[in-house]
């Protein structure tokens, strides 16, 4: 069996034990150490650690002081947390279609989704490749929108040399399957001193000093146990990313030109960190995407469909006035065609060959 993802946190044993033995296991010096290292990854002065990627998004929206009726424009092709965070923050979600070049917000479609209530543009850097920030940033500026990046899948990715999480409020997930992990965890990165300060206060019950409450806050804190899991991985981030990039290159070399399959692209000026390696199974393929997925599973090759539907296309959102569904034909098609193959850093050359051989066989190539 070749799994779609492998978790390796062995390097953290010593540091985690150190925290456990210290008896100081909640948020403390290890979280601070993790934050200091993480801010370097996003190339900004501030990294605020929280308990997961979803709360990173919620907290980011909360410090922007959104009012009921204020709108956030985001991608319809994303993990459900993106949408749930917008709703949790009391805002209204609108969607602009994606581009099938990078699976991210298509800047040409964003303007049509803007209204006089739009306050935030929330691009999602899906699969580890950043959205077209070269066009999205000017759009946000023109319309006076705050930028919240859902960078959950894009730790270490860059756009024209500038890292994910450096544009406004950058939201990262450290969930077990993400490129680096603390089991559960999240981080918000920003260059804005005021927002960073507000995030730190908000995360800790709205408290600046003991019993000095400034806002109605929350408990969004990360623990030192979790931070200790993440620190060695931050040190290995370059190695982890390079292994993913090498694996993606090998997959593309082996799969390019197969009829009915489109390999993922790395667009000019962007570095891809390959959280997922996602191919499109097009209509001229001899089998459907779902048939290919089932065949690969039969052969012991892990695979995943991220995501099978557009994010708002579920009954639980159907009658929600804060979820404004729209026509997103590209996202709908990609949701029918996308299939992710293993690209994790532990893959061997032989396993890569097995994956390539199995896909080619099922597609008759």
Query: What minimum distance in Å lies between the beta carbon of 38 and ligand PLP?
Result: 14
Q: Is 88 exposed, middle or buried (0-12, 13-18, 19+ CB in 10 A)?
A: middle
Largest CA distance in the chain: 68
Rounded distance, CA 220 to CA 218, Å?
6
| Residue number with CB closer to ligand PLP (176 or 266) | 176
Name the closest residue to ligand PLP (Cβ): 53
Rounded distance, CA 70 to CA 168, Å?
18
Give residues 22-51 in contact with ligand PLP (rule: CB under 6 A).
none
Query: Per CB under 6 A, which region of 34-42, 78-86, 204-212, 295-303 contacts ligand PLP?
Result: 78-86
Rounded distance, CA 151 to CA 123, Å?
8
Q: Is residue 62 involved in binding ligand PLP (CB under 6 A)?
A: no
Q: Is residue 175 involved in binding ligand PLP (CB under 6 A)?
A: yes
Q: Are 299 and 273 in contact (CB under 8 A)?
A: no
Q: Is residue 82 involved in binding ligand PLP (CB under 6 A)?
A: yes
| Runs of H (alpha helix) within the chain | 13-22, 29-42, 53-62, 80-88, 107-110, 133-142, 193-203, 224-235, 237-255, 289-298, 315-318, 329-337, 349-362
Which residue in the set 54, 233, 247, 340 belongs to the binding site for ligand PLP (CB under 6 A)? 54
Contact map string, positions 126 to 145, toward ligand PLP, x by CB under 6 A: --------------------
Contact map string, positions 179 to 208, toward ligand PLP, x by CB under 6 A: -------x----------------------
Q: Is residue 52 involved in binding ligand PLP (CB under 6 A)?
A: yes
Instruction: Give the count of beta carbons closer than 10 Å to the beta carbon of residue 90.
Output: 15
Query: What minimum distance in Å lies between the beta carbon of 70 and ligand PLP?
Result: 20
CA-based nearest residue to 273, from 187, 136, 165: 165
Beta strands at 158-159 and 92-95: parallel, antiparallel or unpaired: unpaired
Q: Catalytic residue among 32, 109, 178, 253, which?
A: 178
Query: Per CB under 6 A, which region of 73-81, 224-232, 279-287, 340-348 contacts ligand PLP?
Result: 73-81
Residues in the interface with ligand PLP (CB under 6 A) total 14
Is-catalytic flag, 109?
A: no
Query: What minimum distance in Å lies between the beta carbon of 173 and ligand PLP?
Result: 3
Residues 6+ apart with CB under 8 A from 2: 300, 301, 302, 342, 347, 351, 354, 355
Rounded distance, CA 356 to CA 211, Å?
59
Query: Per CB under 6 A, which region of 23-31, 95-103, 150-158, 337-345 contacts ligand PLP?
Result: 150-158
Q: Is residue 78 involved in binding ligand PLP (CB under 6 A)?
A: yes
Q: Is residue 173 involved in binding ligand PLP (CB under 6 A)?
A: yes
Mind telling me the catalytic residues? 178
């Amino acid at each position: 069996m070749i799994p779609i993802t492998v978790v390796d946190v062995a390097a953290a044993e010593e540091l985690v034990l150190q925290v456990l033995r210290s008896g100081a296991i909640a948020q403390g010096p290890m979280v601070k150490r993790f934050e200091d290292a993480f801010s370097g990854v996003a190339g900004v002065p501030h990294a605020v650690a929280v308990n997961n990627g979803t709360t990173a998004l919620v907290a980011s929206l909360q410090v922007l002081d959104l009012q009921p009726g204020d709108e956030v424009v985001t991608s319809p092709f994303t993990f459900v947390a993106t949408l749930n965070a917008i709703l949790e923050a009391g805002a209204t979600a609108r969607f602009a279609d994606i581009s099938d070049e990078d699976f991210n917000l298509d800047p040409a479609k964003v303007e049509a989704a803007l209204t006089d209530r739009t306050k935030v543009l929330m691009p999602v850097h899906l699969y580890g490749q950043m959205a077209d920030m070269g066009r999205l940033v000017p759009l946000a500026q023109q319309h006076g929108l705050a930028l919240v990046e859902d960078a959950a899948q894009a730790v270490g990715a860059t756009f024209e040399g500038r890292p994910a999480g450096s544009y406004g409020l950058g939201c990262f997930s450290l969930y077990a399957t993400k490129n680096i992990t603390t089991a559960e965890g999240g981080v918000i990165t920003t260059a804005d001193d005021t927002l960073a300060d507000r995030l730190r206060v908000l995360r800790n019950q709205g408290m600046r000093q003991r019993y000095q409450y400034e806002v109605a806050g929350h408990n969004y804190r990360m623990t030192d146990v979790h931070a200790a899991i993440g620190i060695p991985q931050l040190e290995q981030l370059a190695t982890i990313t390079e292994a993913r990039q090498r694996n993606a290159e090998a997959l593309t070399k082996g799969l390019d030109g197969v009829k009915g399959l489109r390999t993922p692209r790395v667009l000019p000026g962007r570095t891809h960190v390959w959280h997922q390696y996602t191919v499109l199974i097009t209509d001229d393929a001899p089998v459907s995407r779902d048939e290919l997925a089932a065949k690969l599973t039969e052969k012991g090759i892990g695979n995943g469909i991220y995501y099978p539907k557009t994010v708002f296309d579920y009954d639980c959102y159907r009658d929600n006035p804060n979820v404004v569904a729209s026509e997103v034909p590209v996202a709908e098609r990609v949701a029918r065609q996308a299939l992710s193959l293993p690209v994790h850093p532990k893959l061997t050359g032989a396993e890569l060959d097995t994956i390539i051989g199995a896909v080619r066989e099922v597609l008759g190539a």
